[in-house]
């Protein structure tokens, strides 16, 4: 955030934080969502807390707050009659029922965040001596709030090897995902913004080797052990098979 805020100051830009995955995260001790002019949080069920759908914008700027209230409310004038529309807006209202769910979740946010941290720590401990994979990194200036637990395959591994690992896990009833595919590979983005796919080799490598494992606050130690054992077994099975490209993975990791 420090360099982003510096650039914004230099060029007189406004900063809108996408804090959708970062509820409870801190950078240099300060909470994500409190650096910029405004910030967005998302409350889909896979997030740290949920309202079943929807999200929230936070801001200390009265003008932005008024604009957001109007935009979510079909462009109504926030300070006047219900049927007065001063702009083109949307129906982005979060219903009272969704808000009630969110308020109840917010009361237990400390517990929700620490349960996720416990699951992440157990995964990292269980995977500590596993060759062939890279675990999520710690960042010295940040305290992470856990949204997903993503491992990376190492060495010369390819998307095909990662996908065969996914298939093996799914065959054992373990849900997992290649999460995320990068935006420059999305058909719509290519269509609207790019005349040709840009060369982003590091982004592509990260996307080809990433694997998001099952992750939720109530995940038990037994479930974590089962996932880790399955990953290890599948990695060593493919490493034992000399015809398999995965064998190169452990050779290079070793
Ligand atoms: C970083 C980030 N931004 C934005 C979103 C979108 O949130 P929503 O679908 O609630 O608009 C997500 C959802 O996962 C996200 O992870």
Alpha carbon distances (Å) from 97 to 51, 88, 218: 9, 26, 24
* Residue % of the chain over a pLDDT of 90: 76
pLDDT value, residue 254? 35
- The first and second tokens of residue 122, run together, are 């157990």
pLDDT digits (tens, 9 = 90+) for 166-197: 999 999 999 999 998 998 888 888 788 767 77
Q: Ligand 1 pocket: which residues have CB below 6 Å?
A: 18, 20-21, 42, 44, 55
User: Mutate which of 42, 145, 147, 181 to test ligand 1's pocket (most atoms within 8 Å of Cβ)?
Assistant: 42
Closest-lying ligand 1 atom to the alpha carbon of residue 55: 10
The CA-atom distances, in angstroms, between 187 and each of 90, 125, 183, 195 are: 26, 38, 9, 12
Domain with 199, as residue range(s), is: 110-253
The residue out of 73, 107, 141 marking a domain boundary is 107
Average pLDDT over residues 94-118: 97
Strands 133-134 and 55-59: unpaired
**Domain harbouring 51, CATH code:** 3.40.640.10
CB 124 within 8 A of CB 137: no
pLDDT at residue 242 greater than cutoff 70: no
pLDDT (0 to 100) of residue 197:
75
- State the distance from the centre of ligand 1 to the C-alpha of 120, rounded, in angstroms: 21
* pLDDT tens-place string over residues 211-230: 999 999 999 999 999 999 99
Q: How far is the CA of 253 from the centre of ligand 1 (A)?
A: 34
Nearest atom in ligand 1 to 43's CA: 10
Looking from the CA of residue 19, the nearest atom of ligand 1 is 1
**What total number of domains does the chain contain?**
2
**C-alpha atoms less than 13 angstroms from C-alpha of 160 in its C-beta half-sphere:** 7
Q: 44 C-alpha to center of ligand 1: Å? A: 8
Boundary-marking domain end, from 78, 107, 136:
107
Is the model's pLDDT at 198 over the cut of 90? no
Chosen domain end from 71, 90, 107? 107
Pairing label, strands 210-213, 26-27: unpaired
Beta strands 38-42; 55-59: pairing state? antiparallel
Backbone torsion region of residue 74, taken as left when φ is above 0, otherwise alpha when ψ lies between -120 and 50, otherwise beta? left
Whether the pLDDT of residue 248 is over 60: the answer is no
Mean pLDDT computed over 124-128: 95
20 CA → ligand 1 middle, Å: 5
Q: Mean pLDDT throughout 233-240?
A: 84
Ligand 1 midpoint to CA 23 (Å): 12
- CA of 42 from ligand 1 middle (Å) equals 6
Same domain, 230 and 128: yes
Predicted pLDDT at 64: 96
Do both 72 and 186 map to the same domain? no
What residues contact residue 252 under an 8 Å CB cut-off, 6+ apart?
154, 155, 156
Which stretches within the chain are classed as H helix? Answer: 2-11, 62-72, 96-107, 109-127, 159-171, 187-193, 201-209, 221-240, 246-253
pTM for this prediction: 0.88
> Could you tell me if 93 and 130 lie in one domain?
no
């Amino acid at each position: 955030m420090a360099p982003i805020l510096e650039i914004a100051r230099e060029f007189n830009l406004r900063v809108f934080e996408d804090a959708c995955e970062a509820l409870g995260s801190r950078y240099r001790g300060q909470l994500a969502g409190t650096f910029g002019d405004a910030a967005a949080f998302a409350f889909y069920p896979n997030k740290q807390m949920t309202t079943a759908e929807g999200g929230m914008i936070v801001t200390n700027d009265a003008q932005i707050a008024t604009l957001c209230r109007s935009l979510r409310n079909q462009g109504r004038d926030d300070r006047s009659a219900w049927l007065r529309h001063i702009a083109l807006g949307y129906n982005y209202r979060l219903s009272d029922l969704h808000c009630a769910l969110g308020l109840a979740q917010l009361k237990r946010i400390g517990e929700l965040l620490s349960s996720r941290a416990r699951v992440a720590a157990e995964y990292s401990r269980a995977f500590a001596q596993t060759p062939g994979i890279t675990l999520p990194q710690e960042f010295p200036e940040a305290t992470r709030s856990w949204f997903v637990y993503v491992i990376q395959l190492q060495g010369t591994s390819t998307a095909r090897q990662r996908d065969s690992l996914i298939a093996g896990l799914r065959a054992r009833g373990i849900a997992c995902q290649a999460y995320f595919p990068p935006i420059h590979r999305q058909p719509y983005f290519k269509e609207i913004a790019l005349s040709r796919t840009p060369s982003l080799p590091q982004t592509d490598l990260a996307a080809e080797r990433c694997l998001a494992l099952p992750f939720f606050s109530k995940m038990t130690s037994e479930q974590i052990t089962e996932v880790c054992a399955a990953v290890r077994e599948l990695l060593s099975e493919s490493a034992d098979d000399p015809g398999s490209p995965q064998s190169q993975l452990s050779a290079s990791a070793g």
